[in-house]
């Protein structure tokens, strides 16, 4: 595993920045920044100490802001910035107001990213459901990565604004978008997309439009697609489905499986460590809840 900011990599980036200043070749900056963003994401996801990420991530969010300032129409940079802000806002923000601000920025970045490659998306935030869904047919496989980033940022935003009924009204659009992502990405789709869809389908209770049985299918698909290595899928299954439907046996089975598993898996270590922390909380609260 490479460190979050490998010294030689950062030195190379600084050299490229200097070269770009002289030559005016903006593509060098974009390629170097995109590569650094990829390395940064990988290092964060493979970190097994969440507090290290909590302390260090804001510096890199600011770094990504600077890259976006220099490349305001680069979909890859906008998507990387959106993913960082959404992750931090959803997991590490220490109060509701901060989570609201950070996830709002994430969604703004992600919208700019998809807008740069798909003009019909530029007005998504102002569209009603029918008009929004009408734009989805034009999305193709080449848009998949940007759609994934926007879907993730939107879910983080909706969770941070779960008490806001205006935000809840966007859940049908979020559901439609993730389903369209799964269609256009096909076999290359991220397994976490099924988990995101399961979360979206269980944010509301069934009486208000929630779809727990459909959500169960997607939680199970997320677990299968990652060969059980993504422990967060089992935690969300336990919280979003088993707990809400008072299925104690399924809840305890999922929680115990998470606690018994190794958290170390490429690209999943951080979320798995966090999932195990959540599993301990769920187990401690189970007798009082059920």
Question: How many Cα atoms occupy the beta-carbon half-sphere of 45 within 13 Å?
Answer: 15
pLDDT for position 166: 86
Chain segment 204-224, per-residue pLDDT in tens: 899 989 999 999 999 999 999
Chain segment 137-155, per-residue pLDDT in tens: 999 999 999 999 999 999 9
pLDDT over threshold 50, residue 1: no
Entry pTM: 0.84
Average pLDDT of the residues in 166-195: 92
pLDDT for position 167: 87
Give the pLDDT band of residue 257 (cuts 50, 70, 90): very high
pLDDT for position 20: 33
Give the pLDDT band of residue 102 (cuts 50, 70, 90): very high
């Amino acid at each position: 595993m490479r460190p979050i900011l490998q010294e030689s990599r950062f030195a190379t980036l600084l050299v490229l920045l200097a070269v770009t200043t002289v030559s005016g070749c903006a593509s060098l900056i974009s390629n170097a920044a995109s590569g650094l963003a990829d390395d940064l994401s990988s290092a964060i996801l493979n970190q097994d100490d969440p507090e290290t990420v909590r302390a260090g991530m804001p510096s890199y969010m600011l770094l990504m802001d600077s890259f976006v300032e220099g490349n305001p129409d680069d979909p890859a940079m906008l998507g990387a910035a959106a993913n960082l802000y959404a992750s931090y806002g959803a997991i590490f923000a220490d109060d509701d107001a901060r989570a609201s601000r950070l996830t709002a920025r994430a969604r703004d970045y992600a919208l700019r990213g998809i807008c740069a490659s798909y003009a019909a998306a530029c007005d998504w935030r102002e569209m009603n459901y029918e008009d929004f869904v009408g734009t989805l047919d034009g999305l193709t496989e080449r848009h998949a990565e940007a759609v994934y980033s926007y879907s993730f940022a939107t879910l983080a935003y909706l969770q941070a604004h779960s008490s806001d009924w205006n935000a809840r009204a966007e859940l049908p659009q979020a559901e439609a978008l993730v389903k369209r992502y799964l269609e256009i990405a096909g076999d290359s789709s991220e397994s976490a997309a099924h988990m995101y869809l399961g979360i979206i389908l269980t944010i509301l209770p069934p009486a208000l439009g929630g779809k727990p049985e459909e959500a169960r299918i997607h939680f199970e698909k997320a677990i299968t697609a990652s060969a059980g290595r993504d422990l967060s899928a089992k935690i969300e299954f336990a919280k979003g489905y088993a707990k809400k439907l008072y299925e104690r046996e399924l809840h305890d089975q999922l929680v115990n499986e998470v606690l018994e598993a190794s958290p170390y898996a490429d690209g999943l270590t951080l979320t798995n460590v966090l999932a195990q922390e959540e599993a301990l909380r769920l187990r401690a609260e189970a007798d009082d809840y059920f």
